[in-house]
A = this chain, B = another copy of it.
Amino acid sequence: MRSPSEIETCHITFIPDNIIAEAAVGDNLLKVAVDHGIHIDATCGGAGVCGKCRVEVQGDYRLSEADYLHEDEQEAGVLACRCEVLGDCTVTVPEATRVTGTLPSRSEGSTRRVRLTGLDADARVHECGVSPLLTKQCVTVEPPAADVGSTDRFRLAAALEKQGVPLRGSLIDIELMRRMPTVLREQDGQVTATLSAQRDDAICGGLPLLVNLETGDTSEKLYAVAFDIGTTSVWAQWLDLKAGTVLAEAADYNDQIRFGADVINRILACKKEGGLSRVRQAVVDTMNRLLEQMAEQCGLPLTSLAYAVAAGNTTMSHILLEVDPRHIQLAPHVPVTRFFPPVKAATLGLSLDSQAPLFSIPNVSAWVGGDIVAGALVAGFTDDDPMTLYIDLGTNGEIVVGNKEFLMSASCSAGPAFEGGGIKHGVRAMKGAIEDFHLNGPDAEPMVLTIGQARANGICGSGLINTVAALFLAGVLQPNGKYIAPDGIRRLRETEDGLEYVLVEAANSAGGQDITLTEVDVENLLRAKAAVFAGITTLMSEVGMDPSMFDQVLIAGSFGQSLDVERAITIGLLPDLPLDRFRFIGNGSLAGARLTAQCMDGFRWSEALAHRITYIDLGVNPRFMDDYVAGMFLPHTAGHLFPAVTELLRRQKDG
């Protein structure tokens, strides 16, 4: 992971618009152009197939291979979609490549896409300080003597007591008793004890004071691992708790995906004979893979990890600890517990030392889990003044609203649309997925951009939002989510199920077939965004407030990262607020897990937060259903909730 300060930047000057764009070294030129409102023809998603994005470039750049080859390639410039900028460049966009007209934007006069500031998790973690959940103390025990009471345990306790750690009277885990005779004799009595920071505290409750025992002096090394156990992906960071830094990071899809994409299917898989054990093993396998990758990156043994902290949604937490999640699925959705005890990670099958504990960040309810608690914690609004909306978008759009005065949460069953599910050509956010979309002028010709600039293979969640917003603003989609009459719009066509818009034609797609957006797809997106927005309005109404009162909106999750906030507001997913009130949190769950691993107070706060955050069950809330139905329009039935979007539409109509 590179921190923002480590990224080298360069300047790209676009001619003839004379727009100077700041870009990162290695950025794709087409993306830089799109992000800065420079419209360049591109109908293949940036896959180097259609050959339409030809520009002239002077400066430091590198070209990757293109499928599209033109005889007079050298003379005619380069394909922007194949060009990676390596330093300052000047780019001349020829007349043939430029498109006329600009997308409507609230940013008066400017076409530049708004980049939101992200949360600096590093800074937040350092702000909280480094005070690990477990500490180490190196001592040298006296050699055995024939004195009364001169047991190994006594010698260790005496040595620790000299260092101000009163072990006497504490029960010692039988496993450590078993280790003692060897460990105490290997390096002339020099041993390092891992101690729980606060014996009777909620954090380490249930943990004995003495957690581990190693030969020699390892007290200068203290490592832990932080996990974000997502339904789709698992992220991990190897933390150096002495330096307060991240030594390695790894991520991979959760192996549980083979049991189903969402938590409901995972729970169903757990209900089968031996299912819980199998589903659990899958995530453990994933975690072990990440552990090994990180160990290799760090050049450190897995046994050097003193403990692990895991944040996950309630179902993931249950499954990881092999606690039956079935009653989460069934009404009234009762988890076994919200708070988990520290568990020896090795008993779960994790490749840590047999004594190293795994701490779980507590959950709020069946549908608001430790991942949200962790994210809210690291976002830092829960003890501050600004009225905040914290939102993590996915199959379940989990939201937390409030500030230091109150905190409420809900989970909006958004359905899988944000993850490309239930959409005719929906795909996950992977290479080839359409993630950006623009319309070129009055004939509604599209410009699509795919992840990794590959031939398009479908549309992902953020692409869906961007596409619907663009089609809506261009007047191709009506407020009710239906297309206008297709007259004169080549890309719109009739099917048995209604109209559909051709995003990418067969010739340019990866699969050799048209990639389209149907009216059913749009309806599914409307359901999803209506559920989330209704969740927001319902929570705010509980305290007599409305969404205009948010001082800030924090967007978490990897989906959030790729979200075009302006367009998300346009479709009515996010509240219509000035863009400077929005911030990306990134993987709040992972950052929160890191924070709690590194900072005892952090863990304590997570416990307090799980208690403080009130859960509102939208499924039984009458207000929610009303708001949901009202949200099934673009941007919303109640136009006054989206004043800027309404004004934009009015201006556009007038203009």
Contact A181 B326 (CB under 8 A): yes
Neighbour of A152 across the interface among B174, B322, B337, B341, CB < 8 A: B337
Does A66 touch B at the CB level, under 8 Å?
A: no
Contact B177 A321 (CB under 8 A): yes
Least CB distance from A179 to B in Å reads: 9
Contact A336 B148 (CB under 8 A): no
Q: How far is the CA of A395 from the CA of B145 in the complex (A)?
A: 24
Least CB distance from A592 to B in Å reads: 21
A150: B residues at CB distance < 8 A: 332, 334
Least CB distance from A123 to B in Å reads: 33
Contact B177 A333 (CB under 8 A): no
A144: B residues at CB distance < 8 A: 327, 332, 334
Does A559 touch B at the CB level, under 8 Å?
A: no
Does A365 touch B at the CB level, under 8 Å?
A: yes
Contact residues of A between 300 and 338, Cβ < 8 Å to B? 321-324, 326-327, 331-338
Q: How far is the CA of A169 from the CA of B614 in the complex (A)?
A: 18
Interface of A is mostly: loop
Contact A178 B337 (CB under 8 A): no
Contact A331 B151 (CB under 8 A): no
Nearest B residue to A174 via CB reads B343
Q: How far is the CA of A331 from the CA of B145 in the complex (A)?
A: 9
Neighbour of A336 across the interface among B180, B208, B327, B340, CB < 8 A: B180
Does A171 touch B at the CB level, under 8 Å?
A: yes
Contact A334 B152 (CB under 8 A): yes
Contact residues of A between 450 and 485, Cβ < 8 Å to B? none
Contact A336 B149 (CB under 8 A): no
A202: B residues at CB distance < 8 A: 169
Q: How far is the CA of A340 from the CA of B169 in the complex (A)?
A: 11
Contact A337 B171 (CB under 8 A): no
Neighbour of A335 across the interface among B151, B322, B336, CB < 8 A: B151
Contact A177 B332 (CB under 8 A): no
Least CB distance from A76 to B in Å reads: 65
Nearest B residue to A619 via CB reads B146
Q: How far is the CA of A369 from the CA of B339 in the complex (A)?
A: 41
Contact A341 B172 (CB under 8 A): yes
Given contacts A337-B177, A341-B171, contact A324 B151 (CB under 8 A): no
Contact B178 A338 (CB under 8 A): no
Neighbour of A177 across the interface among B154, B340, B342, B615, CB < 8 A: B340
A182: B residues at CB distance < 8 A: 324
Nearest B residue to A184 via CB reads B336
Contact A332 B145 (CB under 8 A): yes
Nearest B residue to A331 via CB reads B146
A617: B residues at CB distance < 8 A: 146
Q: How far is the CA of A615 from the CA of B154 in the complex (A)?
A: 15
Contact B206 A336 (CB under 8 A): no
Contact B153 A336 (CB under 8 A): yes
Does A205 touch B at the CB level, under 8 Å?
A: yes
Q: How far is the CA of A182 from the CA of B336 in the complex (A)?
A: 10
Does A620 touch B at the CB level, under 8 Å?
A: yes
Nearest B residue to A153 via CB reads B337
Does A173 touch B at the CB level, under 8 Å?
A: yes
Contact residues of A between 605 and 626, Cβ < 8 Å to B? 614-615, 617, 620
Given contacts A146-B620, A174-B323, A324-B178, contact A151 B337 (CB under 8 A): yes
Contact residues of A between 39 and 88, Cβ < 8 Å to B? none
A205: B residues at CB distance < 8 A: 169-171
Least CB distance from A332 to B in Å reads: 4
A334: B residues at CB distance < 8 A: 144, 150-152, 155
Q: How far is the CA of A622 from the CA of B103 in the complex (A)?
A: 102
Given contacts A148-B614, A332-B144, A332-B150, contact A171 B324 (CB under 8 A): no
Contact with B along A193-219 (1 / 0, CB 8 A): 000000000100110100000000000
Contact A206 B171 (CB under 8 A): yes
Least CB distance from A375 to B in Å reads: 20
Q: How far is the CA of A145 from the CA of B169 in the complex (A)?
A: 42
Neighbour of A338 across the interface among B153, B181, B321, B340, CB < 8 A: B153
Q: How far is the CA of A5 from the CA of B208 in the complex (A)?
A: 48
A208: B residues at CB distance < 8 A: 206
A169: B residues at CB distance < 8 A: 202, 205
A340: B residues at CB distance < 8 A: 174, 177
Q: How far is the CA of A336 from the CA of B145 in the complex (A)?
A: 13
Contact B341 A173 (CB under 8 A): yes
Q: How far is the CA of A81 from the CA of B73 in the complex (A)?
A: 121
Q: How far is the CA of A180 from the CA of B365 in the complex (A)?
A: 17
Q: How far is the CA of A153 from the CA of B318 in the complex (A)?
A: 13
| Residue with the greatest number of chain B CB neighbours at <10 A, chosen from A169, A171, A205, A334 | A334
Q: How far is the CA of A77 from the CA of B618 in the complex (A)?
A: 99
Q: How far is the CA of A429 from the CA of B614 in the complex (A)?
A: 72
Least CB distance from A75 to B in Å reads: 70
Least CB distance from A594 to B in Å reads: 23
Least CB distance from A188 to B in Å reads: 15
Further contacts, 5 of them, CB under 8 A, given A148-B615, A152-B327, A174-B341:
A145-B332, A146-B331, A151-B338, A152-B335, A153-B337
* A-B contacts, 14 listed (Cβ < 8 Å): A145-B332, A146-B617, A148-B614, A151-B338, A152-B337, A169-B202, A173-B206, A177-B341, A178-B321, A178-B322, A178-B323, A178-B324, A181-B326, A181-B336
